[in-house]
Amino acid sequence: MAGSDATSLGFWFTGFFQGVNTIAAPQRDRVFTACARSCLAQGSMSLYGELFERVGGDLDAFFCALDKVDGWAATVVEPGRAWTVSFLTCTCPLHTQGHVNTPALCACSRQGMSLVMHELWAAERFEVTLKGSIIAGDSRCVLAIERVS
């Protein structure tokens, strides 16, 4: 492979995402779930876990605490039922290091938040929807979370 800097891998990720975009949503979600699990293991899951413990598992208090974390914004849309979480900057190294510049990458963040919700509130069911993406040109990445059980 010609070139040795990290950005020379961009061609591979372009092809990867072209392929990922051709598979059906359930299989695509499985791919991004595996990616999200690896990303969460780098430290953010422990942050979520610490907040969960600090607020005694109270959902609304969890999102209020998350809103106080630098680089994040969170709101309680409907107490006990709906919330939003925003990432104020894109911190994904695949994007920040210049490998990926497609909003399809943001499915990883959506799957990550879904994993967090299911891990911390295992008896509950949640739907997580991507509402905004910095890579797509929005001012922040926004995830809407709704309790469905």
pLDDT band at 5 (very low <50, low <70, confident <90, very high): low
| pLDDT digit string, tens, across residues 55-71 | 999 999 999 999 999 99
pTM (two decimals): 0.83
Higher pLDDT, 60 or 105: 60
Residue pair 147/81 in contact (Cβ under 8 Å)? The answer is: yes
| Structure-token pair, residue 27 | 């299989």
pLDDT band at 34 (very low <50, low <70, confident <90, very high): confident
Chain centroid to CA 78: 21
| Structure-token pair, residue 15 | 């092809």
| pLDDT digit string, tens, across residues 129-145 | 999 999 899 999 999 99
